[in-house]
Every structure is written in structure tokens, then in C-alpha cells.
Amino acid sequence: MPPLQPMLAKSASAIPPGMQYEAKWDGFRAIVFRDRDAIELGSRSGKPLTRYFPELVRVLLEQLPPRCVVDGEIVIARGGRLDFDALLERIHPAASRVTHLAEVTPASFIAFDLLALGDESLLDTPQLARREALTDALRDARAPLHITPVTMDLDTARAWFEEYEGAGLDGVVAKPPNLPYRPGQRAMTKVKHERTADCVLAGLRPHKSGPVVGSLLLGLHDTAGHLQHVGVCASFPMRRRQELMTELEPLRMPSVQGHPWEHWADPDAQAAGRLPGGPSRWTGTKDLSWIPLRPERVCEVAYDHLQGNRFRHTTQFRRWRPDREPGECTYAQLEETPHFDLAGILDL
């Protein structure tokens, strides 16, 4: 019964040998619980996603076994690649909006593990046996329900790692063949792409615990010379957060007036460009205000990939770049990934 935490993965720099390999999908992780006519989609945090994907509820009721628990990923594909922004749009309080989006941007479900079938829990069943049970249980699955491809061949996994990024996927997940399912534990291995970029430091948000740095706000200049907000870096030890607050104090502006993002609170300005403080469907009423800094300092950050014109995930701070000028920090430095059509993986 929900909630049930999904099994997680720890990061590695290279694909390990001797594993079962899967593509790493970039969507909403979801565990599906079905008990005859009752169905629930549980998120990684345990919150239900069911109301946001009514089209999937119908499909899963039609195609899943009458009583089962399936681990997988909710994705939306557009133009032959995954579209995470379209997924975010689905987290909307208005049922009418959700219904409309379910029609114009329908979601798919990628199944990659079977945790229970009928009266039997499969949590202690080895990975390869669970995969076999999943394939058998969903042998008649059809779009938009899919089973993720797997391989035991390391060279194939390496090829997937290089090619599938062009379709918006994250990398590769490696699972030990005899691994039981361990909810909440980082028992798998994930290998993701990592690149670096030089970004303008243009602001910060205080940490929720007090007057120390919570996250640094990053910007890149577009072709018109406008500084666009592209993401944040936020993983610092508490001592470093304190040091950063002191270190960055000389850059602090008395107000947002004169800052490239001074209109961040204007909905029209938000719609016209990338600005910090935009509405968050996940955080609800969370305070998204920030402290403006003079955009004079450049930092190098590591990132995995872009989603549109922003970093998909929180970046990792690498170093300050006193040798770089803020005006040099443009989108042109970012590596473009060759396109790969999702049809080469699944019929999405």
C-alpha cells in the first residue's frame, strides 16, 4: 500500500561492468499501485500524482494486471524528444487545465520494475527475476504504456549513454542482477553526463536555516545581450555557506533597481524571458524572493544537460573564474547534443 519510497541510485563517473543496464529517463518518477478499480500514482516524495495524469489512469486501469505495484517514470514527448517543461505544466491546481493538457500533451508511462503482483511481494526477488516478471505481466502493453529496454552488454549501454542524450534522456542506470528492491536506499548506480559552463553570478537566496547562502543564482547572456536566469548551484557545506555570505557582501545591491532582473516580479517580464522567482508548482507559497548582486563575478559550474534554455538540474559549483568577464558568459559556450529521435528507443 502507498506510500512506498522508490529505490534510488548513487552517482558514478563510469558505467560499471557486470550489470543490467537501462536508459535513465528524465520525467516524474512514479510508483503505480493498482487494486482492481482503485489506482494511485505515487511520486518519489510520496505525494500522489494521480489527479494530474487522468489519461494515464485510464490506460493503466486497462492494461495493468488487476492487482500490482509497478515502478516507472511518467514522461511527455514532443518533437521526438522528452519535454520536461510540459510535465511541469501538468502540476496545476485547476482540474479544467489538467484535463485540457491531458488531451494536447498526453503523457506516457515507462515501466522498469515490478514490486508486487497479486498477493505476492517481489521486493526480495532478485533484479533479473523481477524483470522477467515485469515483461511477462506487461507482455500485451501498448502505447502509452511501455517497458524500458534493458541490456546486459556493456558496449550497448555505452552506446545508449552517448546516443540517447539527444532524445532528452539523462544517462544510464546500472542494476546488479541479484539486487533485491530496497525502498529508499541508493542501491543502484547512475551515470549522467557532466559538462562545465562559466556563468554570471547575479544573485543569491538565503538558506532556510538563517542568514547564510542557500543558493547562488546564475545567468548567461543570450544573443541580444540580455542576462537570462539559467539555474542555481546550492550544494555547499554549512561553513562554506557562511563564508559565501561574507564574501559576497561587497556585491550586494541596495535594491533590485538597475539589476538586469529588476522586473522579476512582473508576470509579463517572466513570460518574456528567464527570470528568477517565477511561480513554482512544487513549492506552492514558498518565498522565491532573492538578494540582487552586481553581476560582476563569474563562476564555473558543472551541469548535466539543458532543458530548453536553462539547466535541467541544480548545478555543482567548481571554482571562481577571475580571468573571465561576465559579458563572455553566453549560451554559445554550451555544448549542443546531436538529436536522437525517441522512436529509436520506444514508440513515443
The single residue of 24, 175, 190, 192 carrying the catalytic annotation is 24
d(CA 275, CA 294) in angstroms, rounded, equals: 15
Cα–Cα distances in Å, from 234 out to 241, 251, 288, 301, 309?
9, 18, 14, 11, 19
The stretches of the chain forming alpha helices (DSSP H) are: 54-63, 84-89, 95-104, 127-137, 154-163, 238-248, 267-272
d(CA 166, CA 160) in angstroms, rounded, equals: 10
d(CA 32, CA 42) in angstroms, rounded, equals: 6
Query: What contacts 291, CB < 8 A, 6 or more positions away?
Result: 203, 204, 205, 206, 252
d(CA 331, CA 345) in angstroms, rounded, equals: 29
d(CA 253, CA 293) in angstroms, rounded, equals: 5
Place of cell 529588476: 262
Q: Is residue 140 a contact partner of residue 134, using CB atoms and an 8 Å limit?
A: no
10 noted as active-site residue: no
Rounded to 10 degrees, the C-alpha dihedral 298/255/315/234 comes to 120
User: Helices 54-63 and 95-104 sit at what angle, rounded to 10 degrees?
Assistant: 60
Q: Among all residues, which ones are annotated catalytic?
A: 24
